[in-house]
Amino acid sequence: MVKRTECLSPVKSEEGLGSLPFYVVSGSFYLRMDEGCYVPAEISLLKFSFKTGIIREFHAIVEPFLPVSYRRLAMQHSQATHNLLPKDVTDREEMKLVSRSPTEVANLIKNFLSEDYDKCRPLYTLHSEVEQVQQMLHSMTGEDKLKVYSLDMLFQHIHSVLIKKIPLHVSTDVINESLWEYHVGIACKWHIDNEQDSVRYCTMSCVKRWVFLMCRHIGMVLAFGVVPEEGKHYPVEEPVVSTVVNLPLLMQNLNMPNDMSSRIPSAIPTPSPMTQEATWVKLWNCIFF
């Protein structure tokens, strides 16, 4: 169980809440085994502060090491969520090019966190996923230096200090809003290129959405005097692509006559004068008689 005092202790830093850096982590898994162990599939980390927004980001796909007897269950879970488990030989060869062993991922995480790894800087994830992320990080690094705490409780405290007190379930609802689940460009490259339908399960998409949603609900200008920056505090807007069509030229190229109105039947037939007169008589009788 996450202790409230442990979760909130980093907020008391003298650096100031707006400038204080936080690490947000999300981890997905191929399988939860009977022993309660999670086989890691994908891991993403963000370093951010409310004033600066997203500072650095890390993403890695972990090679699937699965017992044969669990493969069917793992495939069912994969197809229902992140779709990272290869379905055939071709997928398997492509996945080898982008995935890394758990040991490699652990070393990359240590390099990403740098001196903060030795300082045991806390990481934050969804309240409901603290246990699984903690277990996956421990299984890859073989150490207990990385401590994972509730992002929901962190946001609850920050919102209560800056704006007004909110219960934990409200904080959870805010962070889990479906806004931007399929926004272009916030997922990892693999999900964008291969599994568009699964981008909302991408761990990179998750950590970015959580940060963006917290910034959105805090109100950066009033809380910190910071104008939100695109890509740092909210997603990069999708460019609107418009096309100007030269209709006469298009119709000419298609060998169509310029006046198509005579060939297009009216969807609503025009009533005859007699029909119109009868309709008005009926309406008049309904109103006055």
Domain for residue 140, yes or no?
yes
Closest CA to 91 of 202, 190, 187: 190
Residue 225 in tokens: 């005097």
What pLDDT score does 268 carry?
44
Residue 1 placed within a domain: no
Given a cut of 70, whether residue 272 has pLDDT beyond it is no
84 close to 41: Cβ distance less than 8 angstroms: yes
Please report whether residue 41 resides in a domain. Answer: yes
Higher pLDDT, 151 or 251: 151
pLDDT band at 35 (very low <50, low <70, confident <90, very high): confident
pTM, full prediction: 0.79
Whole-angstrom distance, CA of residue 148 vs CA of residue 162: 24
Q: For the segment 94-143, what is each residue's pLDDT rounded down to a tens digit?
A: 899 999 999 999 999 999 999 899 888 999 999 999 999 999 999 999 98
Look up the domain containing 144 and give its range: 16-224
Q: What is the CATH number of the domain that holds 37?
A: 3.30.420.10
Domain count, the chain: 1
Q: 217 lies in a domain? A: yes
The answer to whether residue 6 sits within a structural domain is no
Evaluate whether residue 85 is within a structural domain.
Answer: yes
Q: What is the mean pLDDT of the chain?
A: 84
% of residues, the chain, pLDDT over 70: 77
Q: Alpha-carbon distance 225 to 127, whole Å?
A: 29
Structural domain contains residue 288: no
End-to-end CA distance of the chain: 75
Ordered DSSP codes for 139-188: HHHSSS---EEEHHHHHHHHHHHHT----HHHHHHHHT--TTTT-TT-S-
Q: Which of 116, 126, 97, 107 is nearest to 21 (CA)?
A: 116
Lowest mean pLDDT among 151-160, 179-188, 241-250: 241-250
Q: Are 117 and 229 in contact (CB under 8 A)?
A: no
pLDDT at residue 5, rounded to an integer: 44
Beta bridge partners of 29: 40
Query: 79-103 pLDDT, tens per residue?
Result: 999 999 998 888 889 899 999 999 9
Name the nearest CA neighbour of 23 among 146, 179, 156. Answer: 146
Torsion angles phi and psi, residue 21, rounded to 5: -80, 140
With cut-offs at 50, 70 and 90, classify the pLDDT of residue 245. Answer: low
Residue 249 lies in a domain: no
pLDDT at 238: 73
pLDDT, residue 73, reads: 93
